[in-house]
Amino acid sequence: MLSRVNRVAVIGTGFVGSSYAFALLNQGITEELVLIDINKDKAEGDAMDLNHGLPFAPTSTKIWYGSYADCDEADIVVITAGANQKPGETRLDLVEKNTRIFKGIVGEIMASGFDGIIVVATNPVDILTYAVWKFSGLPKERVIGSGTILDTARFRFLLGDYFDVDSRNVHAYIIGEHGDTELPVWSHADIAGTSISEWTKYKHKYDQADLDAIFLNVRDAAYQIIEKKGATFYGIAMSLLRLTKAILHNENAVLTVSAYLDGEYGQKDIFIGVPAVVNRDGVREVIEMDLNDEEKQKFEHSVKVLKETMAPVVAND
């Protein structure tokens, strides 16, 4: 009897999809990897290129370019396809065109007989995750957006750099929209159990003005990168890899994904970036942090902006 193997299907082999596939190969996360793109030559070329690196990979991975029919046995389908954010565009500017694209993509995925977890990386990720949930008919736990995983990683990196500690030992979260209304949860940010506020209070070389600047750099990082190199892809690829590993290895890992709220944080019927426990079944539970009054107000504003932006799109579909 053959043992069960994991299969990941990547929809869209642009900058993000191909970078994610390369990261999967490098870390040997899945036994099977299928690449699907409307540009079949691009998907085939990527599969060939990745296969040529297999002799140096940590484990054997079967990699091929395929079609939506290959989603039938996939454990995870990761959608990175869609229109990219252009210089001067916000993520929310992409909502209408990418919602139209996603309706067709999700229809093809579900027609294959797929019954796994869909991960959404395309922007605006919170709204598109909601759309995928509606289009697919899957339980809310099995539709996950990349949310603010990358924003949180940027936050931890910059804080680690500022305090001169390993970013993996910084515990701090960005929540809300993956975009202009996201917010830092300073009230729960700490290093080695010592709150960030304590660090700034007793070590005079650190101050709140610097921390405020760090958050602005986090929030605006994508604009800066897009201006310099045209697109962001390595950071989000590693974020998707981390999420994939948490799912396939049944880790019960806490990640700031775009998850469905049904009363948590006083909000309903919205996918938005919040800390959640992720395992083989998808989102096991949303972790409801005790936000201070300012953070609650900013989070409510983020929800309001997302709901107002997606209302006409949801109504049309």
What residues are annotated to the active site? 178
Distance CA(23)–CA(32), nearest Å, equals: 14
Residue 47 makes CB contacts below 8 A (sequence gap 6+) with 35, 63, 64, 65
Question: Nearest to residue 180, comparing CAs of 308, 90, 295?
Answer: 90
48-59 burial by CB neighbour count: b if 16+ within 10 A, else e?
Answer: eebbeeeeebee
Given a contact cutoff of 8 angstroms between Cβ atoms, the answer to whether 99 and 151 are in contact is: no
Measured from the Cβ of residue 28, the count of other Cβ atoms closer than 10 Å reads 12
Given a contact cutoff of 8 angstroms between Cβ atoms, the answer to whether 177 and 273 are in contact is: yes
Distance CA(270)–CA(252), nearest Å, equals: 22
